[in-house]
Amino acid sequence: MSPVNLPPQARAKWAKTLEARTPEERLRALQEFLSSIPDHKGASKLRAHVKHQIAVLRRTIEEQRTRRRGGGGPSFSVEKEGAAQIVLLGFTNAGKSSLLQALTNAKPEVSEQPYTTKYPAPGMMDYEDLKFQLVEAPPLRGLERDAPTLSLARNADALMLVVDLAEDPVAQLSAMVEELRDVGIVVEKPKASIEIERQTSGGVKIVVMGRLMHCTEQDVAKLLTSYGMRHALIKITGEATLDDVEDALLRKPVYKPTMVLANKADLPGSKDKLKKLEAYLAGKIPLIATSAVQGVGREDLGKEVFRVLDLIRVYTKEPGEPPSNEPLVVRRGSTVLEVAKRIHKQLGRSFKYAKVWSKRLPFSPQRVGPSFILEDRDVVEIKA
Ligand X SMILES: Nc1nc2c(ncn2[C@@H]2O[C@H](COP(=O)(O)OP(=O)(O)OP(=O)(O)O)[C@@H](O)[C@H]2O)c(=O)[nH]1
Residue 157 C-beta: closest distance to ligand X, Å: 21
Binding string, residues 205-224; x marks residues near ligand X by CB under 6 A? --------------------
The region of 86-94, 142-150, 216-224, 372-380 touching ligand X under the rule CB under 6 A is 86-94
The region of 106-114, 333-341, 349-357, 361-369 touching ligand X under the rule CB under 6 A is 106-114
Select from Mg ion, ligand X, none the partner in contact with residue 266, using the beta carbon and a kind-dependent cut-off of 5 to 8 Å.
ligand X
169 binds ligand X (CB under 6 A): no
Residue 329's nearest CA partner among 345, 346, 350, 306 is 306
Residue 145's nearest CA partner among 66, 87, 59, 62 is 59
Select from Mg ion, ligand X, none the partner in contact with residue 95, using the beta carbon and a kind-dependent cut-off of 5 to 8 Å.
ligand X
* Residue choice 126, 168, 182, 266 for contact with ligand X (CB under 6 A): 266
The smaller minimum CB distance to ligand X, of residues 11 and 96, is found at 96
* Residue choice 149, 151, 263, 316 for contact with ligand X (CB under 6 A): 263
* Distance of alpha carbon 372 from alpha carbon 382, whole angstroms: 12
Residue 121 C-beta: closest distance to ligand X, Å: 9
* Residue choice 98, 104, 149, 193 for contact with ligand X (CB under 6 A): 98
| Cβ contact 118:138 at 8 Å | yes
Residue 8 C-beta: closest distance to ligand X, Å: 45
The Cβ of residue 283 has, within 10 Å, a number of other Cβ atoms equal to 7
Residue 266 C-beta: closest distance to Mg ion, Å: 18
110 binds ligand X (CB under 6 A): yes
289 binds ligand X (CB under 6 A): no
Residue 262 C-beta: closest distance to ligand X, Å: 10
94 binds ligand X (CB under 6 A): yes
Q: Which residues bind Mg ion (CB under 5 A)?
A: 96-97, 116-117
114 binds ligand X (CB under 6 A): yes
The smaller minimum CB distance to ligand X, of residues 83 and 152, is found at 152
Residue 239 C-beta: closest distance to ligand X, Å: 39
The smaller minimum CB distance to ligand X, of residues 30 and 110, is found at 110
31 binds ligand X (CB under 6 A): no
Q: How many residues bind ligand X (CB under 6 A)?
A: 23
96 binds ligand X (CB under 6 A): yes
The region of 2-10, 38-46, 95-103, 124-132 touching ligand X under the rule CB under 6 A is 95-103
The 3-state secondary structure of the chain reads: CCCCCCCHHHHHHHHHHHHCCCHHHHHHHHHHHHHHCCCCHHHHHHHHHHHHHHHHHHHHHHHHHHHHCCCCCCCCCCCCCCCCEEEEEECCCCCHHHHHHHHCCCCCCCCCCCCCCCCCEEEEEEECCEEEEEEECCCCCCHHHHHHHHHHHHHCCEEEEEEECCCCHHHHHHHHHHHHHHCCEECCCCCCEEEEEECCCCCEEEEECCEECCCCHHHHHHHHHHCCCCCEEEEEECEECHHHHHHHHHCCCEECCEEEEEECCCCCCHHHHHHHHHHHHCCCCCEEEECCCCCCCHHHHHHHHHHHCCEEEEEECCCCCCCCCCCEEEECCCEHHHHHHHHCHHHHHCCCEEEEECCCCCCCCEEECCCCECCCCEEEEEEC
The smaller minimum CB distance to Mg ion, of residues 13 and 96, is found at 96
149 binds ligand X (CB under 6 A): no
Residue 276 C-beta: closest distance to ligand X, Å: 18
273 binds ligand X (CB under 6 A): no
* Dihedral angle computed from the Cα positions of residues 7, 13, 17 and 20, in that order, rounded to the nearest 10 degrees: 160
Tell me which residues touch ligand X (CB under 6 A). 90, 92-98, 110-112, 114-117, 139, 263-264, 266-267, 291-293
